[in-house]
Structure 1
Amino acid sequence: MASSAFSQWRQRHNLFDDKSRYLDRFGLVLTLTVLLLALLSLLDIFGQYRHPGTLWGGLLLEIVSAGLLLVALMASGTRRGWLRFFAIFSIVVIVIDLSQILYFVTHTESSAENNEVLHRTPPVAPAIFSFLMFVAVLLRVFRHKEVQLATLLGSLTAFLMIPMTFFYVFLMVDVVAGPFFPHYEPSQDFMYFSLTNVTTVGSELVPATDLARLLTSTSALVGQLFLITFVAMIVGLMSSRLSFSRALREGPEPSQES
């Protein structure tokens, strides 16, 4: 009886719904992720100093990241109740940041001295959205029982979310804990560094502090662990599928008469 009650509670509070009509539609999520990565690799969205232009650009990035998170949650089969929760959470975060921008625009002098004091805004909300998206997509991919196109698309999406999440983390460290690199670098250089670091290609950029070096090593390690786990999962699913197909072709073994 206790087991039945626990099963009912678990089903009622389960985060995912495997019967969602948007389930496993990772093609759209992957396309939007690639476009966002390309945008962040080409444009200096955050700028060196905090001013209305960079603040509005950061807010636009928050809105895009929140929308991408909701699309990823839908493709991951997240239940409607949790979708509403994350949607409300995203709206609250965006409204708070919007109020801060309006206060900054209306109460701050646009002098060069003031801009130098106010460094670029740390992208806390996009970092949270990217991490939640990575977790949701990864949990859905690991629930697959066989290798499908959605398995590959979802895995690629989750992998691309690693450099994007660390890109935001690197920028936050640059703002909060001091310069991440020895000299000022535009935000697109942070994305370039994050992409090359996760893929272990390497770049000419070098982290300047102990914390920056620790995060750099962590991002490379997470990327490699993801690839190892992904390959092992694909091989395991394909081996199980081949064994099952072989058993169906051969049929049941004939019983031996004693």
Structure 2
Amino acid sequence: MWKNVGRSAFWFGSGSMLFVSSSFSKDVNFRHVQLLLPIKILCHFGVVTLVLAFFKDSIPQRQNTEQVRSFQLTEEDVLRVGRAVLPIANSLISMSRVIFSGDPSMTLKVFPILLFGAKYGHLFTVWRLLATGFFGCFTLPKLYSCYSSHIHEKVEGLNARILNAWKSCPRKKLVAAAAVTTFWNLVSVKTRVMAAFVSAVALRYHYQYGRSSRNSEGVIRRQEQQQAMVLED
């Protein structure tokens, strides 16, 4: 967040000079280094795993209590690599379990990123990832802290306009059916399958979290009524 301006400027300037000079270097071209990450393959595998985890979590279980399988690496498993790798590996495993848990909220967040990586993953190299992460760490948090309120206001205003336009539309079902039919006829089979999956996730998210929000509102109303009755007594 640029709390120490001198130190941040030094590291940012040094890193910028390194990346810019390597981009214009003719002797050593980092763009052709054969250290390519299989991002496209990993993202395709992640999409399949996410879909299977969602449908597995959607199937009702026979038992009410969920059996969570604990899977963590121990010191004996990574003794050859070193004890320093153990916390990193466990954090990655726990993070992957959270991401591929099948929860509709997490699925809606991760699925677009995996689709983008599966489509354009062949364009990413180690050097490009390092450059993007370097400049992103120095710029994105500061920009977000400065313009987050303005961005939220714009997004809320746009959502309000879309909802007002949709509520004022006299033929909602006809417009929705025409939009879905046009989209279904123009896109490919793969896009249709992905759209159907996203629709299923969105419906489950609306059913699950909408019902919980209604239950919480009912509890709050009952508490308010009880407080009012106590005050009247």
TM beyond 0.5: no
TM-score by length of 1: 0.27
Higher helix share: 2
Larger Rg: 2
The one of the two structures with greater contact order (alpha-carbon pairs below 8 A, sep at least 6) is: 2
When the two structures are superposed, what TM-score results if normalisation uses the length of structure 2? 0.29
